[in-house]
Amino acid sequence: MEENIRKLMGLLKPMKVNIRPHLKTTKSPILAQKLVDAGATGGCVAKLSEAEVMAEAGFDDLLITCEIVGPVKLRRLVELFRNHRKIQIVVDSELGAVAVNEALSSSGIEQPIQVLIDLDVGLHRTGVAPESALALAQQITLLSHLRLIGVQGYEGHLQHVHGRETREAQCRDSMAILTTTASMLRQNGFDIQVVTTGGTGTAEFCATTPGITEVQPGSFIFMDSDYYNAVGGFFSQSLTILSTVISKSGSEHRVTIDAGLKSLPTDSGFSEPKNMPGVTYTPMGDEHGWLSWDDGPDVPLGARVEMIPSHIDPTINLHDFYYAHRKGVIEEIWPVATRGKVQ
């Protein structure tokens, strides 16, 4: 993990962009601080509830990358902002911006919150269309409690594109949408200081695109097999889920481990046992999984098997603690502090 952090900083720091890692992966203020100590500038979180926990733990230089919509969340945002003025948010609609403004202006807080326009650069998940960005910027500047500071455009659909050249070419197209929109807003008098984007699969392309000021990679710190298979081994798979062989009933070529769907998500394929070539994993319900092989050594009852997750973020969200080890000795235990914080 430390090597992954060093590699990311070594790669991106010379490119003169801010590195604001996405903490939706680690869900840990301790790891957030380690990233800042290594050179990051603050962090991103996906959700308001993650920001609440991070800020309470003393880490509040945060961009919340999902839109905050609805009266309950807006009340919570106001309370968060009351004590943590560095919080940045994104909006992608006039309705959303007006609601944030109303919540803040009726709170007695005078300072405006820093806002970025979320732009759709091809993912089609959230974000205004580029042609609607100017109108939204004009609407935001009419709102007393919002201060427009930048544009976010996340190209999540490109992170796992196989083949570096293809991924880079598609990323450059998305970045052109983002930087052209930012320039157009500046030409219309808006003070766009932040242009933020990028994940593990694209950060280096984003960072070398003129006009991009900040990148948001998250998964690089641990990786997972799906990412690894797509982008190669520059970052290593530094997190495994430790399981135990709890039964040998059934077949000579199969054992059952105590890791099923509650331990290892399957949305991006099945996990892989570490250093066990020829052995495959199949989930067998909530609590169990099979390890099976055609030829190979016996796996004894009680054996500990390290499983490499196929998709890191939802895997971490299923577990309470990290056990940080070096050469087989556990050095630190870190809570997954924002586990389950998906509101």
Ligand X SMILES: Cc1ncc(COP(=O)(O)O)c(C=O)c1O
The binding site for ligand X (CB under 6 A) comprises 22, 24-25, 44, 65, 154, 156, 159, 199-200, 216-219
Selection from 19, 1, 5 nearest residue 204 by Cα: 19
Which is closer to ligand X, CB of 199 or CB of 273?
199
- Residue pair 50/341 in contact (Cβ under 8 Å)? The answer is yes
**Complex with ligand X: residue 74 or 90, whichever CB lies closer:** 90
Closer residue to ligand X, CB minimum distance, 125 or 326: 125
Least distance from ligand X to the Cβ atom of residue 315, Å: 12
CA nearest to 12, candidates 214, 300, 190: 214
Contact 268, 310 (CB under 8 A): yes
Would you say 83 and 52 are in contact if contact means Cβ atoms under 8 Å apart?
no
List, in sequence order, every residue forming a beta bridge with 194; answer none if it has no partner. Answer: 150
According to DSSP H, which parts of the chain are helical? 2-12, 29-37, 48-56, 71-83, 94-105, 133-141, 164-187, 203-207, 225-231, 312-316
Which residues make beta-bridge pairs with 274? none
Calpha distance 36→293 (Å, rounded):
43
Q: Which CB atom, from 218 or from 260, has the smaller least distance to ligand X? A: 218
Return the closest-CA partner of residue 18 out of 148, 194, 173. Answer: 194
Query: CB of 199: closest distance to ligand X in angstroms?
Result: 3
Q: How far apart are CA 285 and CA 119, in angstroms?
A: 40
The distance of closest approach from Cβ of residue 156 to ligand X in the complex, given in angstroms and rounded to an integer, is 6
CB closer to ligand X out of 217 and 283: 217
Q: C-alpha angle 131/134/139, rounded to 5°? A: 130
Q: How far is the CB of 120 from ligand X (least distance, A)?
A: 12
Q: Which residue's C-beta sits nearest to ligand X?
A: 199
Nearer to ligand X, 272 or 313 (CB): 313
Q: Which is nearer to ligand X, 104 or 204 (CB)?
A: 204
Q: In Å, how far from its chain's centre is CA 310?
A: 15
As measured in angstroms, the least distance from the Cβ of 230 to ligand X is: 10
Q: How far is the CB of 234 from ligand X (least distance, A)?
A: 13
How near is the Cβ of 16 to ligand X at its closest, in Å? 19
CA distance 69 to 249: 51
